[in-house]
Structure 1
Amino acid sequence: MITVLEEGAVDFESTARIATEAFGSKDVSFSAPRMKWLYERGFGLGSAVVAAFADGKKIGQIVLLHQKVYLDGAPVIATQLIDLFILKDHRSPGLVRRLYQEVERLCEANRIRVILTLPNAISAPLNARFVKLRPLLSLPVRAGVNLGWSRRGRLKFSDLIKTLSRDQTIERLAGFVTPPSENGLHWDAATLFDRASDPTRDYAIHATPDLLLISSSRKTRGISHVLLCGFLARPGAVVASSDVRTMIDAACRLWKHRVFVYAGLNNNLPYLPGFALPGRLRPPILVQFRDFASTGALPRLDRFQLTDSDFI
């Protein structure tokens, strides 16, 4: 017998093994420490794991990663759908439907207004069919080469987070809390610190008086690069183009890479870094969205970056 319910105490070691088996790709391997961090602390508000069990053995799940979003100056309860998988021998349209039905039930019970997700090609049509998610954004992946022309006079700091204490990091982040007037995920210093505390990755923070950047070192298809995870402007500041260049230069110098990559939307920036890659090299990232309080036009977001997703 197969049951579907909210899982109370998640066995992360077992879940990571099952997820890796379900995806069935040598390029996809789930980490138990990362899943525990992401589900419990990654976005500051915890999560709900909707799990499927066959005779007591976990065979699949979908996760609601809870977040705070501001829309038109008002906070709303939001959740991001992540980590949908079902073991191959148990896959069926009926089980997928039951997982999504439990997602809707939990959203209603917990007064969650917004669902968003960054789906892959398999989950995108399932999200649209079962929970009526609609396309909100298509984010091209952008890349560039740092030429080292930036002036560093306005740079206040450029540090690896692991070299700082929690209090030191939060002090540096405190000036870049997202204001209620900005449509998008809300970050304060403590939750932003937790967001950059993935136990399987290293992150750095860089800032001028008006702009903060979170960055990380990555390698894709054998090319080492700096991932520009997200920019946050000081509330009320008008960000200069030179500040964006200073941030990119500081990140590339710290990680010792020339190439940088960015994907996102940020209306506080005077321009987006790099050039959009052709879709044949890297398809744009789709963001799906549903506002339970409205069936009309989808809202406008002022900012949505990789820091706002589970991708990094």
Structure 2
Amino acid sequence: MTAEIRFEDTEDLDPVRTSALARSAFHKSGPELSPERFAWTYREGYDRTKIVSAYADGQKVGQLAAFFKTVDIGGERQTAAELVDLFVTPEFRSFQIVSSLYKELRKAVVSEGASLIYAYANDAASLLNKRFFKMEEVTQLPARMGLSAGILSLSSGSGIVIHRDKDAMASLHADLSGGDGGGGLAWTRDQFRRRISSPIYRYAMASDGDVAILASPRVIRSVPVLLICATFTRGGKTTGSRSIPALVASLCKATRRNLYLHVGWNDAIGFDRGFTLPDKALRGKFLMQSNFLNSRRDGIRRFELLDVDYG
């Protein structure tokens, strides 16, 4: 079967059809595959997006997309592309159609000047990612889980403030980072605010003025968890982790979560709370495929779930 491959404007996107395609391809449903999520992600969540879609008889039958971001590696700013949302209906799931989606998106990646490519790895796309984007590196993001008893939670005189307002969180991030990636993905104030404006997830940020933690209450495998999406220090400077327990406990109390999960790394903090989850327990979750995360790890001081279309 044949299909027409073309770029799809974000405003022309049919979120209901896209959601149905995703649910069919992944054999599951949930808020992360809802029409609301796709409408927000492509139109508001990121400011640089490209969608390549496959059409047959005027009906969308597949797609592949990319978000373009700025990465600071060793003081050098480069453009990165995160590949997301590859799905094709079963009857059109041929190598010809899927490879055509990749070839067309590759044109956009070249046009954007993106030399760094990464994706949340999955078996279906890994070979295609290698073939068309030379993504030979696989990185298991470190994951640590812990239990907060609330003993060190927010109290009078602690100096810790909990923010829930999106503008306040975006301003705090901008104040701490100064717009500098500090060896990792760089987020402007507007980009950061967009990223945490999801219609399906809630975010909160705890800060003592020099260190901040962004987190989101989630339910993972039926277990309520506080997902720690990102950590920041003022100017990206290395700091002791003494304030981390109180910040985490404050967020757990504010979001009514006892269990917390941090995924990724921040060399400025060295998150060491809780215990490390072994790769076997993760079962392939939080696995990244790229052309740079391993080979250029020394220049990437922070990479966390905020930087992936998951957190």
What is the TM-score with the length of structure 1 in the denominator? Answer: 0.88
- Give the Cα–Cα distance (whole angstroms) in 2 for the partners of residues 22 and 121 of structure 1: 13
Question: Residue 156 of structure 1 corresponds to which residue in structure 2?
Answer: 160
8 Å CA contact retained: 1:151, 1:246:
yes
Hey, what does 1:244 align to over in structure 2? 244
- AA partner of residue 225 (structure 1): V
Offset at 1:29?
Answer: 6.0
Higher helix share: 2
- Taking the aligned partners of 1:148 and 1:95, their CA distance within structure 2 comes to 53
Match of 1:10 among 13, 25, 31: 13
Cα distance change, pair 110–171 in 1 and its aligned pair in 2 (3 A): closer
Give the whole-Å Cα distance in 2 for the aligned partners of 1:181 and 1:48. Answer: 23
Of residues 20, 23, 38, the one that matches 1:35 is 38
Give a deviation string over 1:154-181, Cα, whole Å, max 9, x none.
433113x2xx3x5434333332226647
Q: Does the CA contact (< 8 Å) of 1:72 and 1:181 recur in 2? A: no
SS at match of 1:35: helix
Letter in 2 for 1:3: E
Per the alignment, residue 229 of structure 2 pairs with 229
Task: Identify the residue that residue 82 of structure 1 maps to in structure 2.
Answer: 84
Q: Does structure 1 residue 290 correspond to structure 2 residue 291?
A: yes
Q: Displacement, 1:150?
A: 2.8
Distance 1:236 1:85 in 2: 37
Instruction: Quote the offset at 1:277 in angstroms.
Output: 1.7
The residue type paired with residue 162 of structure 2 is S
Report the counterpart of residue 273 of structure 2 in structure 1.
273
1:311 matches 2:279 = no
Equivalent position of 1:19 in the other structure: 22
The answer for unaligned runs of 5 or more in structure 2 is none
Report the CA distance shift for 1:208/1:118 in structure 2 as closer, same or farther (over 3 A).
Answer: same
Q: Is the 8 A contact 2:153 2:247 kept in 1?
A: no
For the 8 Å contact 2:212–2:232, the answer to whether it is kept is yes
Most deviating of 180-189 and 256-265? 180-189
Distance of 1:170 and 1:27 partners within structure 2: 27
- Separation (CA, whole Å) in 2 of partners of 1:26 and 1:190: 30
Provide the C-alpha distance between the structure 2 equivalents of 1:275 and 1:88, rounded to a whole number of angstroms: 41
Once the two structures are superposed, residues 181-238 of structure 1 have per-residue CA deviations (whole angstroms, 9 ceiling, x without a partner) of 7221102332212111101111111101211111111112332121111111110544
User: What secondary structure, in the 3-state scheme, does the structure 1 residue paired with 2:80 have?
Assistant: strand
Query: By how many angstroms is 1:41 displaced?
Result: 2.9
Instruction: Name the SS of the counterpart of 1:200 in structure 2.
Output: coil
CA distance in 2, matches of 1:107, 1:263: 27
Residue 107 of structure 1: aligned partner: 109
**Secondary structure of residue in 2 paired with 1:58:** strand
- The answer on whether the counterparts of 1:116 and 1:288 sit within 8 Å (CA) in structure 2 is yes
Displacement of 1:106: 1.3
Contact 2:238 2:267 in 1 (8 A): no
Q: Is the 8 A contact 1:139 1:286 kept in 2?
A: yes
CA distance in 2 between partners of 1:170 and 1:25 (Å): 33
